[in-house]
Amino acid sequence: MAPTPLTPKVLLVALAFLFFFLTPAHAKPSYGGSIVLTSTSDPKSFNDITAKETSTREVTSHIFEGLTTMNAVTLQVEPALAERWEVSEDGHTWTFYLRPGVKWNDGEPFTADDVVFTFNDLIYNDDIASSSRDIFTIEDKTFKVEKVDDLTVRFTLPVKFAPFLRAMSQAILPKHKLAKAVAEKKFNFTWGLDTPPSEIVGTGAFKLSSYRPGERFVLVRNPLYWKRSKEGDALPYLDRIVYLIVQNLDTAMLKFLDGEVDYIGLRGMEYPLIKPNERKGNFTVYDAGPDFGSSFVVFNQNTGVNPKTQKPFVDPVKSKWFLDINFRRAVAHAIDKNKMMEILMNGFGYPQDSDMSKSAGVFYNPNVEKYDYDLLKAKKILADAGYIDRNGDGWIEDPEEHTVEFNFSTNSGNNERVQIASIIRHDLQSLGMKVNFLSLEFNTLVTKLNSTFDWDAIVLGLTGGIEPHFGKNVWHSTGGLHMWYPMQKTPATDWEKRIDEIFIQGVQELDENKRKVLYDEFQVIVSQQLPLIYTVLNSDLYAIRNRFGNLKPTSYAGPFHNMEEIYINK
C-alpha cells in the first residue's frame, strides 16, 4: 500500500478526526434549559400523604424522596436518602443508615427525626387519611419506627415483609415544617393548592416555583440537592420543569405536534398520527414495552345471598355457568386478541395471559396456560360441557334447557374498553350466547362490584406494578377487589385457598428466588382457573424531543424517572 500523500484534503480530515475524539465538549451534559410536559388535570393538593390521585403525585414526585428508590431500568431497589441498610437474622428489624449532608430545600438538615415524624406522626396518625397506611400495616399491626441517632432509623416489623424495601420509596416529609400543623390537627388541610411554593419543602431535585390553577405549574432546580452524577456533576441539569394543564389527551397531542410541549405519551392508536412527524418535529418515538396493569373479562362467581332479600346475588341458573370452568375456558378461546391489537392499537400492544405484565421483570411468568382465539374450539368445549342449541332457535341452552343469556357491561368513559367489550360480545354471540351489552357509568359499575353484586360479566382493568404482593386486595379471597367473589369468609374453592397461602407465604419470604417460585405458581393457577380472562395490554409509547440527553424511557416509570440526570443537548 502506498503512503497517503499529505494533501490539504487529507489534513482537513485528519484534523476533524482529532477534533472529534479529543474534544469532550459534546459528550458532557450542560446545565440549563426547561422541559415542557403536560398534565390532564390540576393537582388536588401538594400534600403527598393525603393525595389519592396521580395529578398530585406528578408534582410531588419531583419534590420528595424516600429512603430507597426504584431504578426504573433494572427494576431493583437502590439507595436514596438512606445510603445503606441492614436486616436482622429473623427478618423483622431493618436498620437504615441515612445519607449525611442532605439538606431540605430550605437549608435545614435532613435527619432521622424527619423519617420518624413521617411515619409515626403522619402515616400512622389516626386523624390523617393516609393512602400509604395500608402498605405499612400487616394484619392490623403497624411497624415500630425509632430513631437510633441523627442518621440512623430502625424499623421493627411484626413479620417478615418482602416488599418492605420497595415500599420505602415512601416520600419523607420535613418535621420542622409540618410538626405544628400536626399538633394543631390541621394536617389534612396543609399544603393545599394555595400554599406559597417556598413552603413546600422537600429533599428532591426540584422544588415548586409557581402554580396557576387550570394553566400550569412550574418546578425549578433545587440548588441544595444532594445527588451527583457519576462524573461528579451537581444535579439536576435542567433549570425548570413546566407542566401545562390540558383538558384531554387529544389537546396534549396537538400541543406536542405544534411544538409547544416536549413530550407526549401515546398509544398505538395515535402512532400513525405522530410518527410521520418525527423528522419535522425533531423528536423520536420510543417503544418502552407493555403497559403495566391488566385488562380482562370477569364473571360473577359470587354464591352469596343478599341478607336483605334472602335471595342469591346472582341468578343460580347463571351462577352454574359462571362457576363452570369449561364455560370460562370457552370464553377465553373467544377473545380475539390479535384483531384487538390490530384494530385498537394499530398492531402495537401485547396479548395478556397473566396478572403480571412482561414489564414487571422478575415476577413475570411467561409459562402460563394460554388460550388461542379459536371459535370452533370454544364451541366444542361448550358442547362437551352440555351447552348446545337444543331447540334450533340460534341460542345455546344449558343441560337444564335454560338459554344462555347474561348481561355484559363496562364503563362508558373508556372508548377502548367499550370497543374490546363489543368485540368480545360479538364473538360470544356467534358462539350462541345471548349477551346483552350495556355500558354503565364508572361509579355505577364500581357500586355493583363493591356493594350490590348485581352483575353478570364485566370488562374492566386494573393498574399494576412489579410487586405482586400489592395486588393482595385482588387475589386474597378476603380482598375487597377480589372481584368475582369479594370478601369471602373462607376460600370458596381449593385454588383460591392455594392462592391465599401463596400470598401469605410470598410476602414473608425475603429470598427473591423463592418468592418467584411462589408467584409463578400463582400466575399458573390463575391462567388455569380463569377468574379473570385477560385480553390485551397497550404498548407504552413515548414521543420525546431529540434535544434531551440521558433519556432512559421505561415502561415502569415513564421516560423521565431520572429527571435529575436529564439535560439539554446544546
Partner 1 sequence: MKNRAWSQFCENRWAVAGLIILGIIHAAALFADFLAPYSFSNEERTYSYAPPSKIHFRDEQGSLVPPFVYGAEIKFDEYRRRIYQDKADEKYPLSFFVQGDKYKILGLVPTTIHLFGVKEPGRIYLWGADSRGRDLFSRLLHGARISLSIGILGVAISFSIGLLVGGIAGYYGGKTDDIIMRICEMFMMFPGFYLLLALRAVVPPNFNSIQVYLAIVVILSFIGWASLARVIRGMCLSLREREFVLAAKTMGLSDLRIIIRHILPHTLSYSLIAVMLSIPGYILAESSLSLIGLGIQDPYASWGNLLAEAMGIVQIKFAPWILLPGFFIFITVMCFNVVGDALRDVLDPKTSQ
- Positions touching partner 1 (CB under 8 A) are 250, 253-254, 268-273, 275-276, 336, 339, 342-344, 346-348, 407, 409, 412-413, 415, 418-419, 421-423, 425-426, 436-441, 444, 448, 454-455
DSSP state at residue 195: S
Shortest CB 60 distance to partner 1, Å: 31
Of 344 and 568, which has the nearer Cβ to partner 1?
A: 344
439 and 445 in contact (C-beta within 8 Å)? no
Q: Is 146 exposed, middle or buried (0-12, 13-18, 19+ CB in 10 A)?
A: middle
Q: What is the largest CA-CA distance in the chain?
A: 100
User: What is the CB-side half-sphere exposure of residue 174 using CA atoms within 13 A?
Assistant: 21
What is the smallest separation between the CB atom of 486 and partner 1, expressed in angstroms?
19
| Number of Cβ atoms within 10 Å of the Cβ of 184 | 9
Q: Which residue from 453, 449, 452, 451 is spatially nearest to 462, judged by alpha carbons?
A: 449
Q: How far apart, in whole angstroms, are the C-alpha atoms of residue 564 and residue 80?
A: 13
Nearer to partner 1 among residue 30 and residue 412 (C-beta): 412
Closest approach of partner 1 to the CB of residue 380, in Å:
22
Closer residue to partner 1 in complex, CB, 239/287: 287
Query: What DSSP string describes 31-70?
Result: ---EEEEEESS--S-S-TTT--SHHHHHHHHHH---SEEE
Q: Residue 294 CB, nearest distance to partner 1 (Å)?
A: 22
- Closest contact distance (angstroms) between CB of 42 and partner 1 is 23
Helix axes 375-384, 325-332, angle to 10 degrees: 170
Nearest residue to 353 (alpha-carbon basis) of 300, 296, 301, 410: 296
Q: Which is nearer to partner 1, 388 or 418 (CB)?
A: 418
Q: Which is nearer to partner 1, 354 or 539 (CB)?
A: 539
Closest approach of Cβ 340 to partner 1, in Å? 9
Q: Whole-number minimum distance, CB 342 to partner 1, in Å?
A: 7
Q: Which residue, 202 or 351, has its beta carbon nearer to partner 1? A: 351
Which is it for the CA torsion 440, 446, 448, 452, positive or negative? Answer: negative
Q: How far apart are CA 93 and CA 82, in angstroms?
A: 16
Whichever of 9 and 280 has its CB closer to partner 1, that residue is 280
Q: Are 31 and 567 in contact (CB under 8 A)?
A: yes
Shortest distance (Å) from residue 569 CB to partner 1: 25
Report, in Å, the least distance between residue 436 CB and partner 1.
5
Q: Which is nearer to partner 1, 114 or 427 (CB)?
A: 427
Beta bridge partners of 376: none
Provide Rg for the chain, Cα atoms: 27
Least distance CB 513 / partner 1 (angstroms): 39
**What's the Cα-to-Cα distance from 492 to each of 452, 505, 529, rounded to whole Å?**
19, 19, 13
Instruction: Give the whole-angstrom CA distance, residue 328 versus residue 322.
Output: 7
Please say which residue, 135 or 266, places its beta carbon nearer to partner 1: 266
267 or 329: CB nearest partner 1:
267
Cβ 439 to partner 1 shortest distance, Å: 4
CA angle 314, 317, 323 (to 5 degrees): 70
Minimum distance between the CB of residue 412 and partner 1, rounded to whole angstroms? Answer: 3
Phi first, then psi: give them for residue 397, nearest 5 degrees.
-120, 155
What's the closest the beta carbon of residue 315 comes to partner 1, in angstroms?
A: 10
Whose CA is closest to 43, among 29, 54, 30, 31? 54
Vertex 371: Cα angle to 423 and 369 (nearest 5): 145
Backbone angles phi, psi at 239, to 5 degrees: -80, -45
Amino acid at 112: A
Q: Which DSSP string corresponds to 105-156?
A: TTSPBP-HHHHHIIIIIIIT-TTS--TTTTTTEETTEEPEEEEEETTEEEEE
Choice between 3 and 316, CB closer to partner 1: 316
210 versus 450: smaller Cβ distance to partner 1: 450
Distance CA 231, CA 217 (A): 31
Residue with smaller CB distance to partner 1, 315 or 509: 315
Encode burial over 296-326: b for 16+ CB neighbours within 10 A, e otherwise. Answer: bbbbbbbeeeeeeeeeebbbeebbebbbbee
CB of 439 or CB of 527, closer to partner 1: 439
Supply the minimum distance, in Å, between the C-beta of residue 327 and partner 1: 19
